[in-house]
């Protein structure tokens, strides 16, 4: 009946989620919402974890088909652990990202999953990498993904500064996720965040009713 396409399955391959990762002075914040939905009509999980630890100081966020993403991260975890044992040193963030990229690129015809990899290593410090759907790998100071990300491009472009403090960056990430969840019907639930620094990893979970609130029309 409608002439224009509002169905996300026709519009593009990103499915219901909002994920982001941002570097700050000394570390990186990575986070996502927690909703899994079927076709945008049914919420199949309100508390799904999309921030997956692939090594001690390396996390990744998944977007796209959850089944594909989980399969790829499982394979990537294995490859990374093996690589780490062989090299006798903690893996580099770029290695984790490259492993994901190889899997995504070699199997691009079958897979529909994108990743944001963030972490800390001794060589380059805090880093964020994005592996897009076709298998492109790019490093960025900050990146956002998923269907909810379209609504916060403007906010992120305006508000992100490369050398924020840890607390500022955490607040910024929470604000961004909250704004996206407020506009995207397939993103929601709780905000799952991880703060990764040289010292370690801190998990922050903010339930829906404690999220930052903005002026409501």
Binding site for another protein (CB under 8 A): 2-6, 11, 140-142, 150-162, 175-176, 179-180, 182-183, 214-215, 217
**142 in Cβ contact with 24 (< 8 Å):** no
Q: State how far the Cα of 107 lies from the Cα of 127, in Å rounded to an integer.
A: 25
User: 78 or 153: whose CB is closer to another protein?
Assistant: 153
- In the bound complex, what is the minimum distance in angstroms from residue 189's beta carbon to another protein? 18
**14 in Cβ contact with 145 (< 8 Å):** yes
Cα 17 from chain centroid (whole Å): 9
Q: How many CB atoms lie within 10 A of CB 163?
A: 11
Q: Using CA of residue 171, residue 172, residue 175, residue 181, what is the dihedral sign? A: negative
- In the bound complex, what is the minimum distance in angstroms from residue 83's beta carbon to another protein? 30
Annotated active-site residue in 6, 15, 17, 117? 17
Q: Which residues partner with 157 through β-bridges? A: none
47 a catalytic residue: no
Q: State how far the Cα of 72 lies from the Cα of 42, in Å rounded to an integer.
A: 25
- In the bound complex, what is the minimum distance in angstroms from residue 96's beta carbon to another protein? 22
- In the bound complex, what is the minimum distance in angstroms from residue 99's beta carbon to another protein? 25
User: 6 or 86: whose CB is closer to another protein?
Assistant: 6
User: 154 or 200: whose CB is closer to another protein?
Assistant: 154
User: 20 or 52: whose CB is closer to another protein?
Assistant: 20
Q: Please identify every residue annotated as catalytic.
A: 17
């Amino acid at each position: 009946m409608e002439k224009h396409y509002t169905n996300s399955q026709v519009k593009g391959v990103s499915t219901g989620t909002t994920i982001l990762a941002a570097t700050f002075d000394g570390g990186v914040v990575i986070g996502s919402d927690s909703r899994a939905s079927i076709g945008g009509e049914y919420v199949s999980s309100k508390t799904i974890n999309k921030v997956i630890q692939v090594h001690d100081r390396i996390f990744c966020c998944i977007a796209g088909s959850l089944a594909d993403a989980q399969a790829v991260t499982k394979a990537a975890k294995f490859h990374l652990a093996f690589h780490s044992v062989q090299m006798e040193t903690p893996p580099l963030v770029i290695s984790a990202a490259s492993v994901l990229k190889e899997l995504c690129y070699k199997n691009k015809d079958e897979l529909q999953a994108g990743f944001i990899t963030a972490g800390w290593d001794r060589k380059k410090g805090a880093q964020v990498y994005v592996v897009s759907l076709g298998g492109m790998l790019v490093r960025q100071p900050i990146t956002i993904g998923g269907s909810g990300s379209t609504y916060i491009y403007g906010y992120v472009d305006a508000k992100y500064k490369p050398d924020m403090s840890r607390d500022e960056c955490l607040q910024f990430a929470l604000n961004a996720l909250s704004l996206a969840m407020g506009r995207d019907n397939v993103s929601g639930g709780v905000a799952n965040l991880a703060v990764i620094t040289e010292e370690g990893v801190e998990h922050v979970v903010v339930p829906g009713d404690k999220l930052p609130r903005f002026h409501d029309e």
